[in-house]
Structure 1
Amino acid sequence: MIGLVLAAGAGRRLRPYTDSLPKALVPVGPEGAADAPTVLDLTLRNFAEIGLTEAAIIVGYRKEAVYERRAALERTYGLKLTLIDNDRAEEWNNAYSLWCGREALKEGVILANGDTVHPVSVERTLLEARGGDRKVILALDTVKPLAEEEMKVVVDPDKGVRRITKLMDPAEATGEYIGVTLIEREAAEELADALKATFERDPQLYYEDGYQELVDRGFRVDVAPIGKVSWVEIDNHDDLAKGREIACQY
């Protein structure tokens, strides 16, 4: 199993940081600190802490910044890094971006969004949930109050995920998908096909819509509740301030 990071996004709501950097490389340490870690740093550290030795990073917008740091990141975290180019990162949404990593999926991966600050306990929870016929396991926050923007999930205890979408009444949801998934290699081919069908239907769809495509085809997708954990998806400057507070805890 390897790590996989989606780091191709532009993050326009985080300008001016993202004028020259992809969102995954926006510093989340103390403001102004020269050596402040980025979301990518924190994610790779998590991968190293659970014993992974390899990771792939899907890059697109301002990808040269990731290429420039690759050797230093490898030395710091003891990971062999493969960079995967997304040639449509500024045009299409992330269903296509994850599809670009379809060869990496064949290794079995822990997938992490490049804008999610979270502790290593999330990855450990996913690893503990492995086994049986569970091939795709989503990290789920069942504690945080939900609103309109969250990626909401409805789970049937006997059948797994039934719905995953932002377009849902929060009161209907079991919890929020936090952007971290364990994907076994046995699921790689079916997931890649579902992602392809998703972005071909509409290139602006999310990879979570690909998960829904899987579910609609009868593929079981499971969840692992992460408990009461501080985490944040960084979309704007308010989120970035929260990310800095949370990153200091870990």
Structure 2
Amino acid sequence: MIGLVLAAGAGRRLRPYTDTLPKALVPVGPEGEAEATTVLDLTLGNFAEVGLTEVAIVVGYRKEAVYERKAALEEKYGLKLTLIDNDKAEEWNNAYSLWCARDVIKQGVILANGDTVHPVSVEKTLLAARGKGRIILALDTVKQLADEEMKVVTGENGGVAKITKLMDPASATGEYIGVTLIEGEAAADLADALKTTFERDPDLYYEDGYQELVNRGHVVDVEPIGDVRWVEIDNHEDLAKGREIACQY
């Protein structure tokens, strides 16, 4: 099993940081700190801590910044990094971005979005649940939800019945936090579902690909992460929260 990071996004709501950097390289360490910690740093550190030795990173917007840091990141975290180019990162949404990594998913991956600040306990929780199913989503069942979150409703089998931002928060079981364990045996089915998804609409999310799998009769499982502080960084308010949380881990 290897790590997989989606780091192709532009993050335009985080300008001016993202004028020159992809969102995954926006600093979440103290402002003004030399070589400040980034979301990518935190994620790679988590992967290394749970014993992974290889990580694939899907890059696109301002990808040269990741290429420039590749060797230093490998040395810092003791990981072998493989960069995968997303040629449509500034045109299409992340269903296509995850599809670009379809070959590495065959090895089995822990997928992490490149904009999620979270503790290593999330990866540990997913690994402890390994064997529960082919795809396991990290689910926050504690947080009070609003309209922007990627919400999940679970079914009678305990797996995903519905995953979308477009639902009444009160009806949701919890929020998908952007971290998933995907076994290699699920790679072909997931790749086909993702392809169907972005061919239907390039603006769709990879979570819509998860929904496509569910609609086809496949089981997508969830695992609650407990009462854990984390944040998806979309804007400057989120970035402030991310800095506050990052210094705790």
Shorter-chain TM-score tier: over 0.9
Residues 154-177 of structure 1 deviation map (CA, whole Å, 9 limit, x = unaligned): 012425100000000001100000
CA distance, structure 1, for counterparts of residue 189 and residue 157 of structure 2: 21
TM-score, normalised via structure 1 length: 0.99
Report the alpha carbon displacement of residue 35 of structure 1 after superposing the two structures with TM.
2.1
User: Are residue 179 (structure 1) and residue 170 (structure 2) matched?
Assistant: no
User: Are residue 40 (structure 1) and residue 43 (structure 2) matched?
Assistant: no
- How many aligned positions are there? 249
**Aligned position for 1:30:** 30
What secondary structure is seen at the aligned counterpart in 1 of 2:247?
Answer: helix
CA distance, structure 1, for counterparts of residue 33 and residue 88 of structure 2: 33
Residues 188-209 of structure 1 deviation map (CA, whole Å, 9 limit, x = unaligned): 0000000000000000000000
Residues 31-69 of structure 1 deviation map (CA, whole Å, 9 limit, x = unaligned): 111121000000000000000000000000000000000
* Letter matched to residue 165 of structure 2: K
RMSD of Structure 2 on Structure 1 (CA): 0.6
Q: Is the 8 A contact 1:159 1:220 kept in 2?
A: no
* Letter matched to residue 136 of structure 2: I
Could you list the runs of 4 or more consecutive aligned residues of structure 1 that deviate by over 3 angstroms after TM superposition? none
Residues 94-135 of structure 1 deviation map (CA, whole Å, 9 limit, x = unaligned): 000000000110000000000000000000000011115x00
Residues 44, 21 of structure 1: alpha-carbon distance in 2 compared, 3 angstrom cutoff? same
* Letter matched to residue 220 of structure 2: V
CA distance, structure 1, for counterparts of residue 76 and residue 103 of structure 2: 25
CA distance, structure 2, for counterparts of residue 157 and residue 34 of structure 1: 50
CA distance, structure 2, for counterparts of residue 159 and residue 146 of structure 1: 20
CA distance, structure 1, for counterparts of residue 16 and residue 202 of structure 2: 27
Q: Structure 2 regions of 5+ residues with no counterpart? A: none
Q: Is the 8 A contact 1:20 1:62 kept in 2?
A: yes
TM-score, normalised via structure 2 length: 0.99
**Aligned position for 2:119:** 119
Matches within 5 A, 1:90-129: 90-129=90-129
What secondary structure is seen at the aligned counterpart in 1 of 2:56?
Answer: strand
The percentage of counterpart residues that share the same residue type is 82
Matches within 5 A, 1:203-222: 203-222=202-221
Q: Structure 1 regions of 5+ residues with no counterpart? A: none
CA distance, structure 1, for counterparts of residue 215 and residue 71 of structure 2: 41
